[in-house]
């Protein structure tokens, strides 16, 4: 008897059956743009072998003007059909099903030729769109339908028509972006004409036995978005027009409410999809922040949807469904929703991967094969760098021993998991623990090792991490000064007025920790919705609460300082930095930059500004917390090298600057593939 009966139940679509209720949602990985179709095929085939019922590709443009970027992948020619056929053949060989997403970006297209219902520039693009005339609209429909026909020729099992997230079809639906007065604008009947026409004509062109998923925005989260009555009306018309499945879209890309970041509660929007259940007779998929089989099962068992979409979790672990079906849910590498190696890469023009699983999108390059000769491997440091080395080395058949002076594994992950909004790190540390046990890795915790303890190993890996940087501020040894480790690990008492020195990732984390004092809106959905101003779209158009964000009362008064004069948090994650900045601003944190730290005394922190050390100012506070960055802890590596013992130095022990778990895990995994 499985623990996930709803998630693993097949879904009969009439002309075909999906083997379970898990859809791999669309992601822009950048793989298609590499034009290495073998690599693209292997990425999807790996996930098909992992048991997912149906996958949706990244968005493929139906024409130049609708493509997300100049040079982005399109489906317009026989050559495209031939390339995509490599993917579909490999997926089918692996027993999977795959649909191609047709993505017309409209005014979100990053190029001067972008088109839209009206010439209203988007706040997230520098390019004002050209308003389409009747002929132009007709061309867009024809191109989308043509892309679907070509996808069918390429062997896809279906297409997903992207109608949400503020893209082209969504732009016609709402007065926020559609100011037209012809038959494509004005009344809601007119505004929804285009999406319906696209689905109707696509169905006509592809025949009956081809999956058409329509991705429908159920809560726009932007001013003047759809009401829920309009959502239901559209869904019914989309069903009539011939869609097989309706998938949920949450929020436009320009919305200023987080929808998928790690601080968003798990399955935070499943209740929105549930409102559509029973209103249409075709299956409905829900999405966003579903990342474990338990959450997926709960969402389905409580009638929120017929299927769940998980995208990033399939980067973290291609075998998600098979492991769940085999009762090995605790071995699924968890997506922690950090966006660091997926969306942050996409938006920086880099190939997607995954912080937890560097093999994602690198399947052909990083192959975990059994080592020709098993070795004895010693790894010092049980943080992310050491643990990822250990797991990959053990998978390759090496005998691995991990040492750490702490009596628990996880290193700095154990501090991250204390931060409100970073609860997912608990699951990551748990996963490492399960995997180490499963793979027979020997753990020697609670004792610092010296160079003399490491003889008899074939490979020695030093992953001893980092130590806090000494900012050398007069008065920093006083009792009213703490380090981030004192706060996050040792939970030392902190006063009500706090100055945080250093506005890097840790300075932001510590500030969030101090503002919440043990409570986290991430595990309190009603509170999280209130904080961000999310309401029921059936009550308030677009799901925006009329009173706006209502942050809870902060537990402390926090001043966050840095020496540089640029804006705080500029170097945080590309897709998540704005959330951290907004959170701190909402809770009244003062951002002070361009400072010199003069001294700390009983009154608080004394600073001055600029090179001339002008404008002396007191930040009156009870506690000063030092988050001034970190330096490599290389003492063991140096001692070994002095004895002539060769060792591999990785993670923070190698380079502390800009260290994060992504680099540490990537470096550890890659190292373990070399010996």
Residues that bind ligand SF4 (CB under 6 A): 312, 315-316, 335-342, 354-356
Least gap, CB of 560 to ligand NAP (angstroms): 9
Query: Any contact of residue 509 with ligand NAP (CB under 6 A)?
Result: yes
Query: Any contact of residue 502 with ligand NAP (CB under 6 A)?
Result: yes
Q: Residue 453: CB partners within 8 Å, gap ≥ 6?
A: 403
Least gap, CB of 344 to ligand SF4 (angstroms): 8
Residue nearest ligand NAP, CB atom distance? 504
Residue 487 CA to residue 513 CA, distance in Å, equals 9
Note the maximum CA span of the chain.
82
Residue 471 CA to residue 633 CA, distance in Å, equals 16
Closer to ligand NAP by Cβ: residue 189 or 571: 571
Closer to ligand NAP by Cβ: residue 377 or 503: 503
Q: How many C-beta atoms lie closer than 10 Å to residue 150's C-beta?
A: 23
Q: Which residues in 325-352 are b (16+ Cβ under 10 Å) and which e?
A: beeebbebbbbbbbbbbbbbbbeeeebb
Single out the segment in contact with ligand NAP by CB under 6 A; choices: 194-202, 429-437, 519-527, 560-568.
Answer: 560-568
Binding-site partner at residue 134 among ligand SF4, ligand NAP, none, CB < 5 to 8 Å by type: none
Query: Any contact of residue 658 with ligand NAP (CB under 6 A)?
Result: yes
Query: Any contact of residue 628 with ligand NAP (CB under 6 A)?
Result: yes
Contact of 202 with 148, CB cutoff 8 Å: yes
Least gap, CB of 110 to ligand NAP (angstroms): 25
Q: Residue 14: CB partners within 8 Å, gap ≥ 6?
A: none
Binding-site partner at residue 564 among ligand NAP, ligand SF4, none, CB < 5 to 8 Å by type: ligand NAP
Binding-site partner at residue 660 among ligand SF4, ligand NAP, none, CB < 5 to 8 Å by type: ligand NAP
Torsions phi, psi of 245, nearest 5? -145, 145
For ligand NAP, the binding residue among 147, 238, 250, 572 (CB under 6 A) is 572
Binding-site partner at residue 336 among ligand SF4, ligand NAP, none, CB < 5 to 8 Å by type: ligand SF4
The structure tokens 């009596």 sit at: 407
For ligand NAP, the binding residue among 420, 465, 629, 668 (CB under 6 A) is 629
Least gap, CB of 291 to ligand SF4 (angstroms): 8
Q: How many C-beta atoms lie closer than 10 Å to residue 521's C-beta?
A: 22
Contact of 668 with 476, CB cutoff 8 Å: no
Question: 424-438 and 384-395 helices cross at what angle (nearest 10)?
Answer: 40
Contact of 285 with 22, CB cutoff 8 Å: no
Per-residue three-class SS string for 169-193? HHHHHCCCCCCCCCCCCCCHHHHCH
Single out the segment in contact with ligand NAP by CB under 6 A; choices: 181-189, 348-356, 384-392, 658-666.
Answer: 658-666
Establish whether 167 is a catalytic residue. Answer: yes
Contact of 168 with 143, CB cutoff 8 Å: no
Whole-angstrom distance between the N-terminal and C-terminal Cα of the chain?
41
Closer to ligand SF4 by Cβ: residue 230 or 344: 344
How many Cα atoms occupy the beta-carbon half-sphere of 427 within 13 Å? 21
Binding-site partner at residue 356 among ligand NAP, ligand SF4, none, CB < 5 to 8 Å by type: ligand SF4
Closer to ligand SF4 by Cβ: residue 336 or 640: 336
Binding-site partner at residue 506 among ligand NAP, ligand SF4, none, CB < 5 to 8 Å by type: ligand NAP
Interface pattern 417-456 for ligand NAP (x via CB under 6 A): ----------------------------------------
Torsions phi, psi of 147, nearest 5? -60, -40
Identified catalytic residue from 167, 214, 432, 484: 167
Single out the segment in contact with ligand NAP by CB under 6 A; choices: 223-231, 279-287, 401-409, 503-511.
Answer: 503-511
- Listed in order, strand segments (DSSP E) in 280-393 are 284-286, 307-310, 376-380
Report helix, strand and coil shares of the chain as percent, to nearest 5: 35, 20, 50
Least gap, CB of 665 to ligand NAP (angstroms): 13
Tokens of 658: 């800009």
Least gap, CB of 137 to ligand NAP (angstroms): 42
Instruction: Kindly give the residue spans of alpha helices, DSSP state H, lying in 563-674.
Output: 577-586, 635-642, 661-672
Binding-site partner at residue 504 among ligand SF4, ligand NAP, none, CB < 5 to 8 Å by type: ligand NAP
Q: Residue 373: CB partners within 8 Å, gap ≥ 6?
A: none
Residue 302 CA to residue 293 CA, distance in Å, equals 14
Closer to ligand NAP by Cβ: residue 139 or 469: 469
Residue 31 CA to residue 82 CA, distance in Å, equals 16
Query: Any contact of residue 160 with ligand NAP (CB under 6 A)?
Result: no
Least gap, CB of 574 to ligand NAP (angstroms): 10
The SS3 of residue 453 is helix
Query: Any contact of residue 236 with ligand NAP (CB under 6 A)?
Result: no
Residue 108 CA to residue 113 CA, distance in Å, equals 11
Query: Any contact of residue 263 with ligand NAP (CB under 6 A)?
Result: no
Binding-site partner at residue 502 among ligand SF4, ligand NAP, none, CB < 5 to 8 Å by type: ligand NAP
Closer to ligand SF4 by Cβ: residue 335 or 572: 335
Q: Which residues here bind ligand NAP, judged by CB under 6 A?
A: 469, 471, 501-507, 509, 562-564, 572-573, 627-630, 658-660
Residues designated catalytic: 167
């Amino acid at each position: 008897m499985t623990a996930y009966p709803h998630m693993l139940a097949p879904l009969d679509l009439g002309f075909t059956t999906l083997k379970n209720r898990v859809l791999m949602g669309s992601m822009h990985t950048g793989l298609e743009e590499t034009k290495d179709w073998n690599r693209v095929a292997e990425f999807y085939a790996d996930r098909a072998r992992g048991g997912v019922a149906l996958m949706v590709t990244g968005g493929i443009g139906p024409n130049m003007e609708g493509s997300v970027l100049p040079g982005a992948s399109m489906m317009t020619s026989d050559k495209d059909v031939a390339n995509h056929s490599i993917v579909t053949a490999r997926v089918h060989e692996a027993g999977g099903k795959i649909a191609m997403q047709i993505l017309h970006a409209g005014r979100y297209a990053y190029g001067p030729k972008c088109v839209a219902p009206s010439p209203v520039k988007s706040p997230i693009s520098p390019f004002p769109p050209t308003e389409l005339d009747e002929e132009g609209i007709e061309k867009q429909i024809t191109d989308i339908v043509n892309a679907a026909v070509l996808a069918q020729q390429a062997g896809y099992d279906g297409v997903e028509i992207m109608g949400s997230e503020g893209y082209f079809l969504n732009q016609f639906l709402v007065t926020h972006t559609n100011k037209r007065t012809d038959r494509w604008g004005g009344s809601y009947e007119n505004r929804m004409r285009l999406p319906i026409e696209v689905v109707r004509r696509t169905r006509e062109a592809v025949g009956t036995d081809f999956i058409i998923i329509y991705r429908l925005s159920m809560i726009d989260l932007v001013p003047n978005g759809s009401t829920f009555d309009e959502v239901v009306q559209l869904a019914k018309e989309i069903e009539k027009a011939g869609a097989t499945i309706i998938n949920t879209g949450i929020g436009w890309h320009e919305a200023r409410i987080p929808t998928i970041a790690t601080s968003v509660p798990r399955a935070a929007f499943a209740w929105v999809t549930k409102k559509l259940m029973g209103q249409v007779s075709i299956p409905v998929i829900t999405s966003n922040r579903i990342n474990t089989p338990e959450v997926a099962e709960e969402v389905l068992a409580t009638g929120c949807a017929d299927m769940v979409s998980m995208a990033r979790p399939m980067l973290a672990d291609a075998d998600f469904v098979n492991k769940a079906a085999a009762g090995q849910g605790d071995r699924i590498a968890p997506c922690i929703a950090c966006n660091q190696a997926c969306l942050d890469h996409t938006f920086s023009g880099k190939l997607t991967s995954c912080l937890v699983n560097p093999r994602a999108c690198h399947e052909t390059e990083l192959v975990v094969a059994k080592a020709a000769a098993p070795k004895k491997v010693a790894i010092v440091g049980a943080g992310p760098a050491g643990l990822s080395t250990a797991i990959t080395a053990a998978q390759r058949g090496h005998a691995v021993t991990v040492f750490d002076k702490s009596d628990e594994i996880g290193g700095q992950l154990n501090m991250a998991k204390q931060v409100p909004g970073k609860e997912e790190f608990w699951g990551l540390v748990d996963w490492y623990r399960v995997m180490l046990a499963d793979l027979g890795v020997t753990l020697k915790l609670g004792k610092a090792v010296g160079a003399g303890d490491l003889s008899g190993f074939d490979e020695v890996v030093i992953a001893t991490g980092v130590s806090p940087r000494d900012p050398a501020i007069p008065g920093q040894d006083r009792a009213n000064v703490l380090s981030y480790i004192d706060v996050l690990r040792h939970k030392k008492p902190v006063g009500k007025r706090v100055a945080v020195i250093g506005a890097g990732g840790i300075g932001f984390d510590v500030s969030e920790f101090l503002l919440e004092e043990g409570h986290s809106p991430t595990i309190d959905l009603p509170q999280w919705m209130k904080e961000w101003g999310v309401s029921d779209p059936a009550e308030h158009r677009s799901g925006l609460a009329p009173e706006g964000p209502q942050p809870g009362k902060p537990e402390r008064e926090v001043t966050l300082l840095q020496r540089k004069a640029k804006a705080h948090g500029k170097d945080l994650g590309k897709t998540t930095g704005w959330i951290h900045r907004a959170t701190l601003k909402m809770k009244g944190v003062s951002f002070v930059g361009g400072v010199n730290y003069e001294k700390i005394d009983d009154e608080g922190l004394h600073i001055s500004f600029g090179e001339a050390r002008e404008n002396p100012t007191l930040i009156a506070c009870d506690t000063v917390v030092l988050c001034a960055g970190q330096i490599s802890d290389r003492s063991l590596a140096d001692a070994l090298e002095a004895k002539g013992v060769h060792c591999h130095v990785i993670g923070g022990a190698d380079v502390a600057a800009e260290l994060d778990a992504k680099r540490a895990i990537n470096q550890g995994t890659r190292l373990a593939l070399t010996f």
